[in-house]
Amino acid sequence: MQSALLSPDVIRWKQGDHELLWQAKTGRSVALHADTLAQLHTPALAPVRARLARLHLLAASPLPDRRELVPVRSRMVLLLPARPALWAPVPDAHTAGGHAYRALPLSPVEQRIWSAIDDRRTTEQLAEAVSASLSEVEALCDRLCAPDVQALQLRDEPLRRLDPTLSRVVGRPRPDNARSVDQHGPQGETDLRTYHQHDITDGATHFDDRETTVAHAHAVPHAMLHGRTYGEQLFAVLAARGLVPERGLIAEVGCGTGEMAAAFWRSAAKPELSYLRIDLSPELLKTQARNAPDTQGQLGDATALPLADGSVQLLLSNEVIADLCAATADTPAVPEYLARYALPPQPPGSPYNLGAWQLIEELARVLAPGGAAFVSEFGSPDDPPEEATQLDHPEVSIHFGHLVRIATALGLAAELVPLAELLQADLSAPHLARASYMGLRALCRSQAVHLAARAWTAASVADALPEPVESLHDARCDDPGPGPLITRFWALLLRKPAA
């Protein structure tokens, strides 16, 4: 029955327990559960049939005259004008690192047609605008709307707002990244000591290629931070809160490339102050020494800091604690901590941020009376921790409510603030849309060119590319871009009472 309802232009294929319906003439699609598709003719599914009709997936909703349809470009596809060719993802080639990409050659007239698409002109208007025949425009649309290309969609009317289907590819889902045996302990807890000590082998590019952070993406001046770098803006907001000392020791735990340390220290440096970097990775300590030569470095563990009691006036831990041990309920230390700090248990199967709890205990020990700490990471005030599966190592989100409870029990004053709010971030500022960045990263890799994971814009990235690229798009900083979304991050500010 459902087959008779569908348009003859519909291409169907299975995706697990769903079936994808693809309108071959327009490049638009919808996935339906097999049970829904089997009952499509029933009165209860009239709303679903209405949606399919709007997409011209039903026999009863034929396409309007194709001359009146509006071509809309996928945000995943870039134009390489010097070749000329489209640089497009391969729908059925999806790895943990993202989609494979390929070049789709264009004739001169096809290039003119692609460049003239503005999400408003109809196919007939496009043909007139570029002095092409309607058949040439329709032939390109047929080619680019195909399910093995997905570079174009045809719409009934001009695009009023960005449709999320234009920033993704329909096909094989992205697989989880593989985990090595040494990344988990005997109870299944995450253990990244070996990873940090031995698997980080190129500190200069590690945060471009393997785990970009908000701080790394904004290590260059950016409009979101009012023309400052991340380290400069962090100094400014902490100083305004009276958290930056006039004398004594500033310690940073887990310093990445050292760019934040360098920027913070440039702003804070005074003869009575010193800055110490503590990291578990020997390779990263070398990179930090090159980027922040006026600071000192020391090999050390965040859960057992190589610092004397009461010796630190300000401690910084930026985007680090998701790497610390996330333990299962079977790990012996977990029930001890739950009892000690009256922490509520997590839902079955959820990990516990044991390493982050231990860091909070260490902060209470090493902070001097009147000292302060800044701890940031992705997570939530009350949601159970979850593992990020797209990375090559198991980072786990933070239950910040637990950290606040532990800090308070240890006598620290705790304030939890969204990181974007603390940094006074202008989330309306532009950065390169994630779809465009992924295409550029694949293009650079195909030509053995390294592209740093910075918060580029379509304008600022041009000089970093191996060839001219068009069809780039910017997005707001609260939409996905080159780095992680700052709106997923929280900052925990801690103060130790003065003696």
Say yes or no to pLDDT of 94 above 90.
no
pLDDT at 176: 85
Q: What is the pLDDT of residues 321-369, one digit of tens each?
A: 999 999 999 999 999 999 999 999 999 999 999 999 999 999 999 999 9
Are 150 and 261 found together in one domain? Answer: no
Note whether residue 228 is domain-resident: yes
Domain boundary among 110, 143, 167: 167
According to DSSP, residue 222 is labeled B
Are 73 and 202 found together in one domain? Answer: no
Note whether residue 446 is domain-resident: no
pLDDT at 2: 57
Domain boundary among 167, 193, 208: 167
Say yes or no to pLDDT of 1 above 60.
no
Note whether residue 294 is domain-resident: yes
Note whether residue 461 is domain-resident: no
pLDDT at 174: 81
Q: What is the pLDDT of residues 404-426, one digit of tens each?
A: 999 999 999 999 999 999 999 99
Question: Could you give the number of structural domains in the chain?
Answer: 3
Q: What are the φ/ψ torsions at residue 234 (nearest 5 degrees)?
A: -60, -45
* CATH assignment at residue 360: 3.40.50.150
Domain boundary among 137, 167, 197: 167
Are 186 and 228 found together in one domain? Answer: yes
Amino acid at 289: A
Are 88 and 13 found together in one domain? Answer: no
Which burial class, exposed, middle or buried, applies to 338 when counting CB atoms under 10 A from its CB (0-12, 13-18, 19+)?
A: middle
Note whether residue 72 is domain-resident: yes
pLDDT at 97: 81
Say yes or no to pLDDT of 239 above 60.
yes
Are 18 and 102 found together in one domain? Answer: no
CA quadruple 403, 409, 415, 417: dihedral, nearest 10: 20
Are 22 and 126 found together in one domain? Answer: no
Are 206 and 253 found together in one domain? Answer: yes
Instruction: Read off the tokens for 226.
Output: 């009012």
Note whether residue 49 is domain-resident: yes
- Closest C-alpha among 23, 72, 75 to residue 51: 23
According to DSSP, residue 118 is labeled -
Q: What is the pLDDT of residues 110-138, one digit of tens each?
A: 999 999 999 999 999 999 999 999 999 99
Say yes or no to pLDDT of 474 above 80.
yes
How confident is residue 438, by pLDDT bands cut at 50, 70 and 90?
Answer: very high
Are 121 and 93 found together in one domain? Answer: yes
User: Span 172-195, mean pLDDT?
Assistant: 90
Provide the residue range defining the domain that includes 221.
181-425+485-495
* Tokens 């991050």 belong to residue: 489
Note whether residue 340 is domain-resident: yes
Q: What is the pLDDT of residues 294-306, one digit of tens each?
A: 999 999 999 999 9
pLDDT at 95: 84
Are 137 and 194 found together in one domain? Answer: no
CA quadruple 321, 285, 252, 428: dihedral, nearest 10: -70
Q: What is the pLDDT of residues 147-176, one digit of tens each?
A: 999 999 999 999 988 889 999 998 877 888
Are 237 and 101 found together in one domain? Answer: no
Are 260 and 280 found together in one domain? Answer: yes
Note whether residue 379 is domain-resident: yes
The answer to whether the beta carbons of residues 494 and 372 sit under 8 Å apart is: yes
Amino acid at 295: T
Name 154's Cβ contacts closer than 8 Å, sequence gap at least 6. 25, 26, 27, 28, 66, 69, 70, 71, 72, 123, 141, 145
Are 409 and 384 found together in one domain? Answer: yes
Q: What is the pLDDT of residues 361-393, one digit of tens each?
A: 999 999 999 999 999 999 999 999 999 988 899
